[in-house]
Amino acid sequence: LSGEAGHVVASAKFPNDSAWFSGHFPDNPIVPGVALIALVAEAVRERERSEGRFPVITGIRRVRFRLPVRPDDEVTLEATRISKKEGPAYLFNVYLAGENACSGILTAEAARS
C-alpha cells in the first residue's frame, strides 16, 4: 500500500486455493468482480484511515470489467479521491499486466461517531 494524500496504489494476488474461486467457475476459475471491488474498498479505507478519515463505502458506479483475473494473477490498483456534491468518491482502476481489468467509482460518506 503506497501513495500520496488522496491517492492509493496497492497490489494483490489471489492464490489458487482462495475461497473466492469456490464455484466461480468449475474448471475455469475467475476472480469474482465483487472480490476486485472489495480489494479496492479495503485499500481506500486503509489509505484514508492513515490520513485520519473514516469513509463508509455506500455504493459503486460506472463499474466496467474488461479482463478476467485468474488464480495467481497479480493485480495493481489505483484509487484517487474526487469531490462529489453528495460526498467523497474514489475513481479506481485495477490493472492486470499493465492493462485495465476493471474500473469504476466508489461512493462514500464520512463515518459518524
Q: Give the model's pLDDT for residue 3.
A: 64
CATH level 2 (architecture), domain 7-110: Roll (3.10)
End-to-end CA, the chain: 26
Q: CB of 87 within 8 A of CB of 110?
A: yes
DSSP bridge partners of 84: 87
Q: Give the model's pLDDT for residue 2.
A: 64
User: Which amino acid is present at 112?
Assistant: R
Q: Give the model's pLDDT for residue 112.
A: 61
Active site residues: 24
Q: CB of 56 within 8 A of CB of 1?
A: no
The pLDDT averaged over each successive group of 10 residues in the chain (113 residues) is 79 90 85 95 90 88 97 96 82 98 93 62
Contacts of 7 (CB under 8 A, 6+ apart): 47, 78, 79, 80, 81
pTM value is 0.88
Q: Give the model's pLDDT for residue 1.
A: 57
